[in-house]
Amino acid sequence: MSQVSNSWRAHFRATLALGLPLVGGQLAQFGIHMTDTIMLGWYSIEALAAMVLASTMFFVLYIVGSGFGWAVMPMVASADSADDAQAARRATRMALWLSALFAIAVIPIMMAARPILEAMGQDPSVSLQAERYLRIAGWGMLAQLPVVVFRSYLSALDRAGIVLWVTLATLVMNAFLNYALIFGNWGAPELGIRGAAIASLTVQLITAVVLLVISARARPDHHLLIRFWKPDWRGFGEVFRLGWPIGLTSLAEAGLFSAASVMMGWLGTLQLAAHGIALQVVATIFMIQIGLSQAATVRAGRALGRRDEAGLRRSGLVAIGLSASVAVFTVLLLIIFPGALVSLFIDPSDPARDAVLAIGITLLAAGAVFQLADAAQVMALGLLRGVQDTRAPMIMAIVSYWVVGLPVSYVLGFPMGLGGVGIWLGLASGLALAAILMMTRFWNRSVRIASA
């Protein structure tokens, strides 16, 4: 490894070159969901609350299954760095197999969402609308999980720019379909929340087909689709062993926020709607951190393939520095412009607007508290995945989010009477502990790859 290629400037430029398209892709992908949320918020507060519940259930299931797709990123990055086309093909194919099997297993859960949501104490009418959404959008799991695989594969090959342009195109398509089908514009029927579901499903299917074609042509020497039906049990096992801890780690964090949504639902429909809006704002900005984390995963995976310990250390520090800078900017944004951010999601003529706006502003103030911790934990996860260390972070996540974060949220929110702000401060405690544990592991253990 030459001094130039391993210089600080080289790592900074390489991380940005990969990270910016990944950030853009994450923002565009999240924008598809945000379009649903904004337009349903304009349609009605009840539809927005139902969307919060429905998207929470879909996302929890999706995030578990996406672990197999995310496993492709470090595996292909490492294989490509070592010029091992067979390993890259094995990981990608078997991730598609595992993704399809998982989707088939969880779709029935979404088809019966109403009794599940009601059993968790949610309003029956809101639960019914959430089920109507999932009975359509739930089938998108068969497309959405393969999309994760294709995005990971292309990103590992430094083709993240292609993913960005595809996602931007589908974002525009989703906006047009939502505008037509939710409100009944341009001669389309007014379908409300079901219109949002149809739009999302359509976009997911088109994205999966387009990325399939692009992936198959990106590296012809990988032969991704030749004898695709032929099992590769060794590759299946490798992806499964790396992927299931990633999925459960993501579930631990997503489940924490989902549990927070359930607790907000106990406080009332207005609180749940405000929580959904505040969560959308924070999560949108967080897409930048996820994109940078994914860039760190690819860079770490390539260092692993080369057995370049010094390069891993330097690229890790660069990625962490970029992530911290974004977190500081986010804190300032949430403190200075909370009202403007929340008001984007609410119809000005809605009678509940002022109440939802007031609650949302206080939640964003609480959300500003955990930005640095959240950035640190997701960056540590990205670096650990890059060196294919996933089981220990899974345990750390479960302890941090569920043994610490969730109980603190409940105690602050209910027995101590802080309501929604207390719930969000509890989230901050879990994220902070995860950041400390995972960063410590990366620098003390996983960075030593020379003999891995």
Residues 104-119 have a mean pLDDT of 90
Residues 248-265 have a mean pLDDT of 84
Q: In whole angstroms, give the CA distance from residue 126 to residue 51.
A: 9
Residue 9 lies in a domain: no
Q: In whole angstroms, give the CA distance from residue 74 to residue 431.
A: 24
Residue 10 lies in a domain: no
pLDDT band with cut points at 50, 70 and 90 for residue 447 = low
Number of domains composing the chain: 1
Q: Kindly state the helix (H) or strand (E) to which residue 46 belongs, with its residue range.
A: helix 45-81
**pLDDT number for residue 448:** 59
The answer on pLDDT for 87 being more than 50 is yes
Name the phi and psi angles at 347, rounded to 5: -65, 125
Residue 14 lies in a domain: no
Residue 451 lies in a domain: no
pLDDT band with cut points at 50, 70 and 90 for residue 5 = low
31-50: per-residue pLDDT in tens?
777 777 778 877 887 888 88
pLDDT band with cut points at 50, 70 and 90 for residue 308 = confident
Query: Which of 27-31, 55-59, 69-73, 382-386 is predicted with the least confidence, judged by mean pLDDT?
Result: 27-31
Question: What pTM, to 2 d.p., does this model score?
Answer: 0.81
pLDDT band with cut points at 50, 70 and 90 for residue 3 = very low
User: In percent, how much of the chain has pLDDT > 90?
Assistant: 30
Residue 74 lies in a domain: yes
Domain that includes residue 36, residue range: 20-446
Q: Which of 42-51, 310-319, 406-415 has the highest mean pLDDT?
A: 406-415
Q: Is 437 helix (H, G, I), strand (E, B) or coil?
A: helix
Q: In whole angstroms, give the CA distance from residue 20 to residue 208.
A: 22
Sign of CA dihedral 415, 419, 420, 425: negative
pLDDT band with cut points at 50, 70 and 90 for residue 2 = very low
**pLDDT number for residue 51:** 81
Residue 77 lies in a domain: yes
370-397: per-residue pLDDT in tens?
888 889 999 999 999 988 898 999 999 9
Residue 48 lies in a domain: yes
The answer on pLDDT for 400 being more than 90 is yes
**pLDDT number for residue 6:** 66
173-226: per-residue pLDDT in tens?
989 998 999 898 988 888 888 888 899 899 989 999 999 999 988 888 888 877
Residues 334-347 have a mean pLDDT of 82
Average pLDDT, the chain: 86
Q: Answer yes or no: are the C-beta atoms of 253 and 401 closer than 8 Å.
A: yes
Residue 15 lies in a domain: no
Q: Which two tokens stand for residue 341?
A: 């951010």
**pLDDT number for residue 409:** 92
Sign of CA dihedral 224, 229, 232, 235: positive
Find, among 266, 289, 264, 267, the residue nearest to 277 by Cα.
Answer: 264
Q: Answer yes or no: are the C-beta atoms of 149 and 62 closer than 8 Å.
A: no
Residues 134-161 have a mean pLDDT of 91
pLDDT band with cut points at 50, 70 and 90 for residue 452 = very low
